[in-house]
């Protein structure tokens, strides 16, 4: 049991020593300012990459919808090799062509079918003329037919084609689809802008959360040093008989109560730095040194990131907020989707033209003179007569989507007003808290110095000294927390136009009020009242 207790005590003391060493020694690691963090985040954020891909996809959808306004032209080149055909027996069994058997009057070997083969019977002629026609038909039959120029059963088939299609009338469907795709692209681009603004705000919050955690750690280290100094003075006074044993025990307990707070502050700082590293995609084991002071609340967001944004809440109208713009574009998408559904009831008129060249060479690649021309032009009219209620169902779904989108737009406008009011209220409260805490920390430090001298000289008690230490600790934490909240509130106002709606009434501080209050150890009722009075005077904690 003693061994376990010793090991546990050693572990606590080792962690405490490490935390004090980290806080007291000069920080070593990669220097990182707020501007550097924002610059790194622009290229390292996965959320921005996803939003950028969505914007590119929406642009492609717009181009695809717009393409139906223009003619669709396709060119083709094809080759077909016939291995077996049902027509090959006809060509193989056909008797050879005998030009000498043809009519001497129409003896043209280049003609596959002489004119006498088609005009062999004259109904109005004499009997002799009819017999002569039958004899000519017999000679044509004996001469055979030439199948080489026909497409049936040819071994080689080459085709060159040009296909043109154009929609003449679609009941407004093409126009509605183009407008719907344009609104979808605006929604995606607004989402990209909103994602970037939210990223900037997240980086600012994470950076100042880490700076605040670092400041609270330094306060905890300073408070522990003060408690140890008080303990040493009490031990010396006890040795000479100026202080009773109760004062020594009280000083020891006050020192020991501060050690867990120091360890907790070290853990909070490590967690805050880890969150910042994850947002920036930095190695987890890389040490960081934050160079932007926590009290620097004037230049929170670089000008290159806030160009074109509103400098104040009053100039940001609810209709200009990113969620409201997206909701308005969503209404346009739903309205055009309804037009597309209604256009299905109207006839659709298309025109098409096909131009082709075909050739059937015996072997090899054909020459240009071997090709024959096929050229057709057609018009198609399509009218829906019966679809089983599908079009009616599509129209009702589109109407419901449009009604829902309109309600969401009204809701977005109301939330925009509330969110803008909340952002303004947080900024005013943070500015008031920061101004109220301006001189409190210096006054509390001076009060503690006086109380420490009074206690060392035996004029006051340790209760007065503990009260002064608690007030100093509370004032320092309040000052740091007010600086962090003011910086974040100013950044939120600067980015308000493109930010999504925030959590109304949620605390903006990454380090909560409860964590900040953990800086103080357990004290008697009179000390707690003094601490509460000081916190009320400084207005230290964020909403």
Asked if residues 396 and 193 have their Cβ atoms less than 8 Å apart, the reply is no
Q: How many of the other CB atoms lie within 10 Å of CB of 427?
A: 21
Give the CA distances from residue 536 to residues 2, 386, 458, 469, 524, in Å, rounded to whole numbers and listed in that order: 46, 75, 31, 17, 19
Who contacts 96 (Cβ-Cβ below 8 Å, separation ≥6)? 144
pLDDT digits (tens, 9 = 90+) for 93-133: 555 544 444 444 444 444 445 555 555 566 676 777 767 77
pLDDT digits (tens, 9 = 90+) for 393-425: 999 999 999 999 999 999 999 999 999 899 889
Residue 161 within any structural domain of the chain: no
Residue 437 within any structural domain of the chain: yes
Boundaries of domain holding 226: 22-47+63-70+173-334+393-538
400 and 259 both lie in a single domain: yes
At 503 the pLDDT is 56
At 293 the pLDDT is 83
**Mean pLDDT, range 63-88, rounded to an integer:** 89
| DSSP assignments along 183-209, one per residue | HHHHHHHHHHHHHHHHHHHHHHHHHHH
477 and 533 both lie in a single domain: yes
401 and 328 both lie in a single domain: yes
At 542 the pLDDT is 34
Give the CA distances from residue 357 to residues 72, 352, 373, 514, in Å, rounded to whole numbers and listed in that order: 20, 17, 5, 84
204 and 273 both lie in a single domain: yes
107 and 201 both lie in a single domain: no
Q: In whole angstroms, give the CA distance from residue 513 to residue 332.
A: 45
At 249 the pLDDT is 86
230 and 278 both lie in a single domain: yes
Residue 339 within any structural domain of the chain: no
pTM of this structure: 0.71
237 and 137 both lie in a single domain: no
Residue 219 within any structural domain of the chain: yes
Tell me how many domains the chain contains.
Answer: 2
Give the CA distances from residue 444 to residues 53, 347, 418, 465, 473, in Å, rounded to whole numbers and listed in that order: 54, 84, 38, 12, 8
From 122-131, 336-345, 380-389, the region with the lowest mean pLDDT = 122-131
138 and 178 both lie in a single domain: no
Q: Between 207 and 230, whose confidence is greater? A: 207
Residue 475 within any structural domain of the chain: yes
425 and 290 both lie in a single domain: yes
Q: Between 333 and 476, whose confidence is greater? A: 333
Residue 83 within any structural domain of the chain: no
**Mean pLDDT, range 145-171, rounded to an integer:** 81
Could you give phi then psi for residue 344, rounded to 5 degrees?
A: -65, -20
Q: Between 242 and 218, whose confidence is greater? A: 218
At 138 the pLDDT is 65
Residue 351 pLDDT exceeds 80: yes
At 318 the pLDDT is 82
412 and 279 both lie in a single domain: yes
Asked if residues 179 and 62 have their Cβ atoms less than 8 Å apart, the reply is no
Residue 433 within any structural domain of the chain: yes
Q: In whole angstroms, give the CA distance from residue 186 to residue 76.
A: 37
Residue 157 within any structural domain of the chain: no
pLDDT digits (tens, 9 = 90+) for 288-320: 899 888 875 554 454 444 444 444 555 578 888
**Mean pLDDT, range 369-384, rounded to an integer:** 91
Helices (H), 70-166: 88-93, 115-118, 127-143
With cut-offs at 50, 70 and 90, classify the pLDDT of residue 6: very low
The domain that holds 37 is classified in CATH as 1.20.1600.10
| Burial bucket for residue 293 (CB in 10 Å: 0-12, 13-18, 19+) | exposed
At 121 the pLDDT is 61
At 402 the pLDDT is 96
Averaged pLDDT score across all residues of the chain: 78
Q: In whole angstroms, give the CA distance from residue 201 to residue 191.
A: 15
Who contacts 372 (Cβ-Cβ below 8 Å, separation ≥6)? 357, 358, 359
From 62-76, 215-229, 311-325, 462-476, the region with the lowest mean pLDDT = 311-325
Residue 9 pLDDT exceeds 60: no
223 and 309 both lie in a single domain: yes
Q: In whole angstroms, give the CA distance from residue 73 to residue 162.
A: 7
139 and 185 both lie in a single domain: no
């Amino acid at each position: 049991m003693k061994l376990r207790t010793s090991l546990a005590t050693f572990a606590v003391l080792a962690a405490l020593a490490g935390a004090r060493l980290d806080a007291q020694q000069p920080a070593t690691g990669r220097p990182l300012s707020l501007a550097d963090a924002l610059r790194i985040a622009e290229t390292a954020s996965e959320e921005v990459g996803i939003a950028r891909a969505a914007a590119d996809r929406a642009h492609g959808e717009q181009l695809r919808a717009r393409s139906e306004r223009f003619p669709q032209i396709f060119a083709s080149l094809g080759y077909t090799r016939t291995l077996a055909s049902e027509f090959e027996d006809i060509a193989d069994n056909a008797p050879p062509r005998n030009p000498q058997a043809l009519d001497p009057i129409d003896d043209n070997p280049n003609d596959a079918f002489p004119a006498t083969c088609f005009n062999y019977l004259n109904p109005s002629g004499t009997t002799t003329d009819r017999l002569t026609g039958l004899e000519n038909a017999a000679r044509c039959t004996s001469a055979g037919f030439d199948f080489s120029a026909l497409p049936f059963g040819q071994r080689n088939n080459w085709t060159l084609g040009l296909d043109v299609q154009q929609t003449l009338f679609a009941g407004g469907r093409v126009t509605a689809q183009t407008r719907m795709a344009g609104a979808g692209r605006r929604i995606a681009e607004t989402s990209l802008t909103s994602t970037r603004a939210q990223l900037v705000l997240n980086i600012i919050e994470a950076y100042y959360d880490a700076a605040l955690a670092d400041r609270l750690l330094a306060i905890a280290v300073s408070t522990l040093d003060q408690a140890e100094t008080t303990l040493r003075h009490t031990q010396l006074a006890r040795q000479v008989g100026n202080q009773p044993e109760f004062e020594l025990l009280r000083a020891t307990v006050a020192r020991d109560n501060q050690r867990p707070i120091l360890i907790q502050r070290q853990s909070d700082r490590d967690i805050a730095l880890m969150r910042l590293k994850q947002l920036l995609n930095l190695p987890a084991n890389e040490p960081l040194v934050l160079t932007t002071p926590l009290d620097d609340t004037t230049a929170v967001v670089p000008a290159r990131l806030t160009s074109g944004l509103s400098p104040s809440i009053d100039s940001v109208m609810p209709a200009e907020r990113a969620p409201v713009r997206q909701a308005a574009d969503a209404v346009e998408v739903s309205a055009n989707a309804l037009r597309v559904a209604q256009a299905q009831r109207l006839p659709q008129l298309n025109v098409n033209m096909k131009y082709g060249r075909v050739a059937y060479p015996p072997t090899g690649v054909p020459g240009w003179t071997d090709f024959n021309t096929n050229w057709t032009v057609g018009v198609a009219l399509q009218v829906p007569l019966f679809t089983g209620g599908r079009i009616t169902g599509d129209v009702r779904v589109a109407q419901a989507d449009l009604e829902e989108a309109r309600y969401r737009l009204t809701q977005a406008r109301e939330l925009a007003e509330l969110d803008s009011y909340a952002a303004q209220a947080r900024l005013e409260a943070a500015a008031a808290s920061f101004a109220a805490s301006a001189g409190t920390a210096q006054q509390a430090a001076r009060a503690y110095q006086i109380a420490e001298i009074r206690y060392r000289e035996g004029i006051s008690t340790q209760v007065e000294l503990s009260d002064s230490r608690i007030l100093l600790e509370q004032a320092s934490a309040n000052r740091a927390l007010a600086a962090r909240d003011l910086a974040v509130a100013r950044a939120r106002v600067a980015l308000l136009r493109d930010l999504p709606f925030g959590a109304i009434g949620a605390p903006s501080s990454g380090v909560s009020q409860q964590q900040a209050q953990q800086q103080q150890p357990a004290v008697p009722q009179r000390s707690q009242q003094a601490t509460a009075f000081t916190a009320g005077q400084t207005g230290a904690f964020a909403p």
